[in-house]
Every structure is written in C-alpha cells, then in structure tokens.
Structure 1
Amino acid sequence: MVELARRHPAIVPGVTAQARHSRRIVGIAGKPGAGKTTYALGLVAASEVPAAYVPMDGFHLADVRLRALGLLDRKGAPETFDAWGYAALLRRVREERDHPVYAPGFERDLEQPIAAALVVPPEVELVVTEGNYLLLDRPEWRAVRDQLDEVVQLETDDDVRRARLVARHVEFGKSPAEAQAWVERVDEANAVLVEAAAHRAHRVVQTS
C-alpha cells in the first residue's frame, strides 16, 4: 500500500509542497476490511510534509457503554461510535496548531479505545484519518465530513475483504464459526451503509 500511495500522490492534494503553509485533513473511507488502515499509514509514510495518523477507531464507545445501551452485539455500527466527539477532535486538529493535540487510539488486543494514545505535533501539515462512515449522510457524520478537505473511497474485491475480516476476528479471539457469523450479521450490514454513501467521495481508488 505504501507503494500505491507513492505511485498516486495526486490522490491527496496537499501531500506535496502545496500544503506547507496549511494543515490539511484527508479522510480514507471504505467498507470494513477494505484496507483503510494500511492505505492511510502508507500515505503518512509517503508524505513529503510532516504527517500524522488519526483514525476513527479511537472513538469506539467502550464495551461498558455499549452494554448499557444494548449495542454490544452491534459493535462497529455507526451508532457505536462517538461521531460528535470525532468531529470535535478533527476541528481541534485543524485549528489548534501551537501545541500538541492528543487523540484516542484503539487497542485491538483489548478491543477498546485508549485515551490520548496518539498525538498530532504542532509541525504536522497533513493529517490522515480513516473510517467506515466518513461519508454517511447523518448529522453527526456530516459534522465529521465538514472537517475533511478530501475523502478518498477505497474499493476492493468483496471476497478478499470478507476473508480479511474473518481472519481478523479469529486473530483477536473469535472462533472461525463466530467470526464468519459476525461478518455476515454485523460487518456486511455496515458495508451496505458504506456502499450507499460512496458516491459522496471526491475520488475512488481500487485496492487489492
């Protein structure tokens, strides 16, 4: 994916010297398992200006809150994220450039958000964020999109994508049967929402 980012720098206006005097925020959207994290990290690594990575995953609601809301069995759906908090953090990232801005990360081993795990230093000129729902037409997700200079939608083969998801769920503790059931019941329902919003992207990039 790093090589893809290097071969196609034009997908992110501002990765080059054009952005040296303003901080840009670029969003990478796509269905679950489309390779968003790998692609976003590739853009950060390939950037010609100081860049940072701030994913949506840090705004997962914690399991204790999802359990209280009756949403634990739908973890990963749009309503299981603090989208308003995500939008507010992106606004801070854009506007507050005289001090570090800390952002939550997500620990896959725990499957929980971790406060202040990431940082955007003052010298950063490009921030790359990624998540499934950057293009959803709901008030909280529109607030997120309002902070983005560009949104790139990733497309990949659905069979490849689903196989990745099953493998990921198995890696982090589910049995193969549980992983397959989760992908079919939860991840694919979320993929339908993402696909319906894809036309709002500035551009589409095919990934493998």
Structure 2
Amino acid sequence: MEASLDELVERARALIVPGERRLLGMAGAPGAGKSTLAARIVAELGEEATLVPMDGYHLSRAVLADLGRTDRKGAPDTFDAAGFVALLGRLQEARETVYVPSYDRDLHEPVAAALAVSPVTPLLIVEGNYLLLDDPEWAPAREFLDAAWYVEIPTGLRTERLVARHEAHGKSPEHAREWVFRSDEANARLIEASAVNADLIVTPVQD
C-alpha cells in the first residue's frame, strides 16, 4: 500500500500501549529508505519512540577480513545475528537503560554503546535488512516483533540511491555501481523474498 508519513506515524502510534514495551520492525532491501522512514516516524513520535538500528551488528572489518568475507560486506553472514536477536530479547524485557551499537558510515565500522534506550520508552522501531529473513540465525528476530513492516520502492530508484550513497562514502562511480549490482542486489533478492513475513508492505509517498 502507498501511505503518507502522517498515515504511517498514526499506524505506529496505534501500537503504543502505556506501561508496555512494543517493538515495530521495519525491513526492506538496501536503499529502500527504511532507515530514513524509521527516523522520521521516531522524530514525529518524540519521547514515545526510539530507533534501534540493526546495522550496529555489522562484523568489524578486521573480523570480516579474518573470515574472508570483506568483498560481500552486508550479506546475512557478515552480521552478528545471534547478538542482535539477543538484544531484541533484552529490549523486550528491559527494566533498565540498554545501550545499543550503531554503524558509522564514515568509519565503515560498528560503534559500541552508541545509543541509549530508556526502559520507559513504549515503542521501539527496529530497522534493518534481515528482520524477516527465513534463516535459522535470523528467523528468531521476527518472534520479538509485535508488528513488522516491509518498505519497498521501485528498483531503479532504489539502486540509484545506493550508487549515490556508496559514492558519497568514498567509492568511485565505477566501484559503486559494481558493488551495488553484485553485492547489494544479491542481498536484495534474499530480502525481497522475506516480505511475506511482514504484516504490512508499504511504499512511502514522497512529500
């Protein structure tokens, strides 16, 4: 379905129950805009919501090099899936502040304890590529989500955004396009297949 930001904010707000902790998952292929959408919804909801990104569970460049996976960074097995799933379980039951990692696109590295999640925040918007993946390591994540949205946009627009993003973070135009159409799009096909596990498939209306 197509939906405006206001409509999606109201859908997210409807999940909030005072005194309870709810997790809304937001998945989608690379470049679909899920991170931006999640951040905008959190900004609209203010103290009622906090953003929790999956990208903080990227393996470091040193670990990827040791594993021989540097050339496909971003694939499902280049993340600490078990650590991320454990985080969701902890966040669901938390009675104390939980510090979660984020990912620095300039450093190209995860940053530990970069974000604080208060125990009184009723809604956490968890965003990432693999929240809905049918995979032994990733599938348990879905069990912690009270609702899950899949964000999609036209493929051409999505890949254009990806190429521009890679260029902005240091890749040459040629390297950016090679990476997108080899690595990112291979991951996108896996992620697109997981859309069946979403409660809602949404295309944000551009404003």
TM-score (norm 2): 0.93
Identity %: 48
2:49 aligns with one of 51, 64, 70: 51
Tell me, yes or no, if the aligned pair for 1:27 and 1:134 is still in contact at 8 Å.
Answer: yes
Cα distance in 2, alignment partners of residues 52 and 178 from structure 1 = 35
C-alpha spacing 1:48/1:114, structure 2 compared with 1 (3 Å): closer
1:146-193 residue CA offsets vs partner (Å, 9 max, x unmatched)? 111111001101111000000000011100000000001100000100
- In structure 1, list runs of 5 or more residues that go unmatched: none
Superimposed CA distance per residue, residues 129-153 of structure 1 (whole angstroms, 9 cap, x where no aligned partner): 1111111111221111111111100
**How far apart in 1 are the matches of 2:187 and 2:8?**
28
Select the structure with the greater relative contact order (CA < 8 A; seq sep ≥ 6).
2
Partners of 1:48 and 1:17 in 2: CA distance: 15
Q: 1:68 corresponds to which letter in structure 2?
A: D
Please list every run of 5 or more consecutive structure 2 residues that lacks an aligned counterpart in the other structure. Answer: none
- Once the 2 structures are TM-superposed, how far is the Cα of residue 4 of structure 1 from its aligned partner? 3.0
Instruction: Give 1:61's match in structure 2, choosing from 45, 59, 62.
Output: 59
Q: Is the 8 A contact 2:15 2:123 kept in 1?
A: no
List structure 1 runs of 4+ shifted beyond 6 angstroms.
Answer: none
Match of 1:5 in 2: 5
The size of the alignment, in residue pairs, is 203
Question: 1:161–1:47: structure 2 CA closer, same or farther, 3 Å change rule?
Answer: same
Alignment of 1:1-208 (within 5 A): 4-12=4-12, 15-16=13-14, 18-47=16-45, 50-97=48-95, 99-207=96-204, 208=206
State the 1:17 CA deviation.
Answer: 7.8
Q: CA deviation at 1:16?
A: 4.0
Q: Could you tell me which amino acid in structure 1 is paired with residue 11 of structure 2?
A: I
Provide the alpha-carbon RMSD of the alignment. 1.6
